[in-house]
Every structure is written in structure tokens, then in C-alpha cells.
Amino acid sequence: MESTIGYLEKIIRIYSKRLETPSDETYDSRPQPDKWSKREILGHLVDSAQNNIRRFIVAQYEDIPNTPYAQDEWVKLAGYRDYPVRDLIALWTGLNKHMVHVLSHMPPGGAQRKCKMGGQPQTLEWVAADYCNHLLHHLHQILDLDPIAYPG
């Protein structure tokens, strides 16, 4: 888990600054009418952080909790279309720093505990590593960087 924590810290350090570069107009652009805008993708990353923090905590006191979430509903109901971008960046940064803190304080053996996210149970270590890959996939979408494949 230590290497994943270090990797997440690096992602936060590098991308929290890069996220401030695009204009509000860029954040409002959509690749297609039925797809999320870059602002909504950033909102989705906020939701993902919240849901994963919950998983890391709940799985410490419940055996294999089932913790799925309806991502499209979360994005729509949170109203990210008109959420101030700078506030979203600050929220994303703060939640990810909090996640680092939660992961760093996981008790011995905690990384091997499991949770379900709608499919087969996964270890928290796997969830944390997958979260980093998910982050990079979407951060590259937001910043128009080379695509990073991520299972959909």
C-alpha cells in the first residue's frame, strides 16, 4: 500500500496545479452532447474520491461491504454543470489528501480486507491502485493529454 500512497501523493502534487490551467470555457466543452463536460468529469472524480474514502473506512469494520454508486446520478444531482471550477479543484485536492491520510492510517492487515463495488470482492489494496489508474484516465481526458486506457 505504501507505493500506492506515494503514487497518489505524486498525482495530487502534479495534477492539482495542471487542473488550474484550462479556462472555464474549456471545462464546459463536451466531446459529444451525451457525454460529460470536463467540469462534470472533475465532479465525477470528486464523487469517486468520496465513495472510495467511504470504502476504505467501512471495510475496516464491516466484512466485505457492498459499496456501489450510480455515477451518472451523482454527477447530475450534484449539479457539477455550474459548480465553480476552482472550488472543484480545491475539493478534489482536499479529498485526495484526505484519502492519503486515511490510507496511511489503515491498521496492519487492513489493505487485505475486501469490499464489493457491484462485482466480485476486491482487496482495499487493489481498490486503491485501481483508483489511481481511474484518476489518471480521467485527468488525461480533462487536460487533453495522451489517453490512458482504463476498463470501463
Q: Model confidence over 2-23: pLDDT tens digits?
A: 999 999 999 999 999 999 999 9
> pLDDT grade, residue 148 (50/70/90)?
confident
Q: Are 47 and 75 in contact (CB under 8 A)?
A: yes
The answer on pLDDT for 119 being more than 90 is no
Q: Are 52 and 103 in contact (CB under 8 A)?
A: no
* Residue 68 backbone dihedrals phi, psi, to 5 degrees: -75, 170
Q: Note the pLDDT tens digit of each residue in 33-67.
A: 899 999 999 999 999 999 999 999 999 999 999 99
The pLDDT of 120-148, averaged and rounded, is 94
Q: Note the pLDDT tens digit of each residue in 77-109.
A: 999 999 999 999 999 999 999 999 999 999 999
C-alpha closest to that of 96 among 38, 58, 45: 45
Longest distance between any two alpha carbons in the chain, whole Å:
47
What does the pLDDT read at residue 152? 55
**What's the rounded Cα separation, in Å, for the pair 138 and 88?**
14
CB burial readout 101-140, b (16+ within 10 A) else e: ebbeebeeebbebbbebeeeebbbbebbbbbbebbbbbbe
What does the pLDDT read at residue 118? 83
